[in-house]
Structure 1
Amino acid sequence: MHFNISKFILCLWVGFAYALSSRQEQADQNTAVEVITRDVAIIGGGSTGTFAAIKLRDENRTVSIIEHKGRLGGQTETYTDPVTGTPIDYGVAFFHDLDIVHEYFNRFGVPLTYIPLSASTGGTTEYFDFTTGVQTNYSRSDSAAALEAYAAQLAKYPYLEEGFDLPDDVSEDLLLPFGEFASKYGIGDIVFSIFQVEQGYGDFLQLPTIYAMKLYGLSLVQELQAGNGVLGTLRGNNSEIYGLAEAELGSDVHLHSTVLNASRNVSSPTGHSTEILIQTPTGQKLIQAKKLLITIPPTLANLEPFDIDANERALFSQFHYDYFWTGLLNQTGIPVNVSVSNVDPSRQFWLPAMPAVYAFSVTHVPGLIDWKYSAPTNLSVDSVKRETIAALDRIRDGGQLNFTTSPDVEPSFVAFADHSPYAMRVDPEAIKTGFYQMLYDLQGYNNVFWTGAAWHTHDSGLLWRFTDKIVNQLLETL
């Protein structure tokens, strides 16, 4: 993804040959490169990239998706237990009860059902301090009064449900650290519940309130107040829709592929003004497209092949983010139907400091445990696994939970996923001085449109609604 190419030349020669750089010209000058012509090239085949591709196809437009993973779906992760055949979602857990969610799943014939927000599979939750392994007396209250008070605050900012189209004068309340905001408005009883939904957001007490409100927003609170729960797939497999989308898109999906270089202002009589050179498992391909839709996290490293200009660099360099991992463990010894959640009695609202494991949670398969880990800096896979097991060992050593396996039984990681970079955000001062207005002004600039969590929030339904609008803007320019 980060391989630099100083220049490239397109030549007509019994097809097309491509010279990648002066240093590689001799090696590659006789290598034929497949040229693909499309209306739109989409970078990233996660939630928004897949949705956009399907919408564009439905509008009779041609697309190509470039995805570095071996599947579509991004942070939607599903493990199928080989013994029972039961699917377990350990990434995206639920969806908002929005019209666009129903329409999207109906299009693929994937039935939905209402589930509790916690996606609970039954059992009980015990609360431990994972730094000491000691059980605590914490008890969740989740009072209706606190939820009502929070809803009243959310109602002041309905535009947060649609993205970051903020007023010129951003409310100071939205810029407060969420811990201060919660104390100011007396919503402490639901802070832990919000924290559990917004895993991966680092030091949650210091998180600017605007980001907390966007993920745990008004539509979600209204769904909770209505008592219906949120939406999940009836067959318990959130990845099903992405498998169906991949089958429909066929050869227009380029998996295990990376962008080597891109030009966004190519002179073309047909309007195919963007050219993207990609590396695929079967060789290099050149995609000529009229427009480019970038859905990946807009880090400077990710955008290196796209030759971003000084204005874009100045904006994207302001983002900071956390690192987030998820997976499934076997042979933990945690009693059946018992989840263990991390709390810290010494901190406000009992929220544990990061880096840490959020919880060890039961799944639909007895013995398989879901875990989540977050850190402010990047860690190796081995480090994340080691710290996750260390937290489990401290609970065992504390002697207050009756483990069902002996200490010499090593837990095994049957699934592991890295969702970093996660929760991209900027400082309150940047928000106050118009960062998101300037960011949104990039839509369509240099033939590129943008979507993804950094442009809204980590919520599939809200992102599909946002992406639907962005794709409509893109269509107007074709």
Structure 2
Amino acid sequence: MGLTRKQVLTMMGAAAAAPLAAGAGKPRVIRRDVCVLGGGSAGTYAAVRLGDLGRGVVVVEARDRLGGHTETFHDPATGGTIDIGVVVLEDEPVVRDHFGRFGVDLVRLAGGEGGTTAYVDFRTGRPVDYTPPAPVALPSYYQQILPYGPIDTVVDLPDPVPAELVAPFARFVAERDLGSIVPLAFAYGQGIGDLLGLPALYALNLFGQGVVGKLLGGGYVTSAARDNSLLYERAAEHLGDDVLLNTRAVRVERTRSGVRVLGSSPDGPVLIEAGKLLVTVPPLVRNLAAVDLDATERSIFGTFTAGGYYTGVVRLSGLPAGVGLDNAAAETPFHLPPLPGLYMVAPSAVPGLYNVKYGSPSPLPDAVVRREIRAGIERVAAAGTYPVRFEGFATYAGHVPFELRVGPRDIAGGFYRRLNALQGRNRTYWSGAAWHSHNSARIWLGLERLLPAIAA
């Protein structure tokens, strides 16, 4: 599948051709069984496991590290660590096995961690007289979602799609007397956006069998070092030269005989020739500009819309030790805060540093989110609720796009049947949150179902 110099220049396009033309010789060529686009939770896990299955793999990752949404802040002053992306994981064998193979110790999370929570309306800064209800309906909710199958692992829906999954989650809750679980589902499902207004499918996907089963019995784990990024640092060491960091796919061509991926790396252009392609980046058309999408793929991926989820660490003074602030509203169903807005400001293990989370039903510019996080905190002081002082961001990350979704008509019309039918088409397989759930354990379990076909 070798390309001539002329073909490479054509693939790169006029804008990228000049740097190559000035260099010596052809781009570096890498030949593997599988090329993985994206080195987040899905891409890293798949690369490691495909290696276990005897397949040669190369991972193309645009950032300077593996891990995707798994991000950890290292405080230079104290040496303390704060996970700001993936904080906890379900205590599943697949999780323990994956962490264990890289020597990353896990600890079980005990109930009651996190100090004291005060409820405020960040729109005004004023306190809200609110106590979340005990989620007494959680066992009933779990039993009622079991018949739909593990749609938190693979969104595999029957035909026709049950009407209750297409209707708003608010109706699903009301008709089944499940109201007591809503605040818990909202708190867990940060980033989902309008939880009650979205089709119930998305609530059952994010707050699904795996999550609820572990809440009822089984529990959650995190790294003993409170640094979940260790997993990806050690996976990168394990994969070695099979990881291309700071590398962007410029052009992807898929033929009957194989896949060609031309990338731009810090060491110059690289050409990957592979038998199959695994794409783990969010499947929006704009994210896949380098890929030679056919009309079917373009139509399906063009249907998705996305939300935004933002996380960071801020420096604050003036809050009592151990007190965190959760957003609540006095006039809304279940006291859920309107979005866009803060979810919470929570104390970390490092004094003076607080974890912040912000959500929006649609993506927002980072500058807007940072401004609104600060403004929300400063309203608390202006209202006289707490004399909190905002002293700056220690770190910040925008997780956009987040929680890809489609409308009720598309769900009812078989969108996810068509989405899943893309697996293997054009020598390409797909994984990530849009195919499974925003949940590392669910992504890894979903991949285990897919890996035999990729490795075949």
Q: TM-score, normalised by structure 2?
A: 0.95
For 2:343, what is the secondary structure of its paired residue?
strand
For 1:302, what is the secondary structure of its paired residue?
helix
2:302 counterpart of 1:317: yes
Among 196, 205, 229, the alignment partner of 1:205 is: 196
Distance 1:11 1:149 in 2: 63
Among 421, 424, 431, the alignment partner of 1:441 is: 421
Distance 1:126 1:22 in 2: 57
Among 348, 354, 365, the alignment partner of 2:339 is: 354
For 1:312, what is the secondary structure of its paired residue?
helix
Stretches of structure 2 that go unaligned for 5 or more consecutive residues are none
Q: 2:176 — aligned with what?
A: 185
For 2:3, what is the secondary structure of its paired residue?
strand
1:124-163 aligned within 5 A: 124-144=116-136, 146-163=137-154
Distance 1:236 1:106 in 2: 15
Q: Which runs of 4+ in 1 moved over 4 A?
A: 16-19, 22-27
Stretch deviating more after TM superposition (214-223 or 445-454): 214-223
1:224-303 aligned within 5 A: 224-226=215-217, 228-265=218-255, 267=257, 273-303=258-288
Code of the residue aligned with 2:131 in structure 1: it is S
Q: 2:90 — aligned with what?
A: 96
CA offset at residue 219 of structure 1?
2.7
Among 4, 10, 13, the alignment partner of 1:11 is: 4
Distance 1:54 1:258 in 2: 21
2:86 counterpart of 1:75: no
Distance 1:352 1:233 in 2: 31
For 2:221, what is the secondary structure of its paired residue?
strand
1:394-473 aligned within 5 A: 394-403=379-388, 405=389, 410-473=390-453
Distance 1:141 1:99 in 2: 32
CA 1:121/1:332 → structure 2, altered by over 3 Å: closer, same or farther?
Answer: farther
Residues 66, 233 of structure 2: 8 Å contact kept:
yes
Distance 1:332 1:67 in 2: 38
Deviation per CA, 1:380-405, whole angstroms, max 9, x where unpaired? 222111110000011111112243x5
CA 1:414/1:27 → structure 2, altered by over 3 Å: closer, same or farther?
Answer: closer
For 1:140, what is the secondary structure of its paired residue?
coil
Q: TM-score, normalised by structure 1?
A: 0.90
Distance 1:182 1:353 in 2: 19
The Cα RMSD (Å) is: 2.0
Code of the residue aligned with 1:183 in structure 2: it is A
Distance 1:341 1:26 in 2: 53
Q: 2:356 — aligned with what?
A: 371
Among 41, 57, 63, the alignment partner of 1:47 is: 41
Deviation per CA, 1:185-232, whole angstroms, max 9, x where unpaired? 122122111101111111112121111112211232222222x53121
Residues 121, 364 of structure 1: 8 Å contact kept:
no
Q: 2:318 — aligned with what?
A: 333
Q: 1:110 — aligned with what?
A: 104
Residues 328, 337 of structure 2: 8 Å contact kept:
yes
CA 1:288/1:139 → structure 2, altered by over 3 Å: closer, same or farther?
Answer: same
Distance 2:373 2:20 in 1: 46
Distance 2:14 2:445 in 1: 45
Stretches of structure 1 that go unaligned for 5 or more consecutive residues are 1-8, 268-272
Q: 1:122 — aligned with what?
A: 114
Distance 1:127 1:23 in 2: 53
Q: Percent identity?
A: 37
Distance 2:318 2:248 in 1: 41
Q: 2:157 — aligned with what?
A: 166
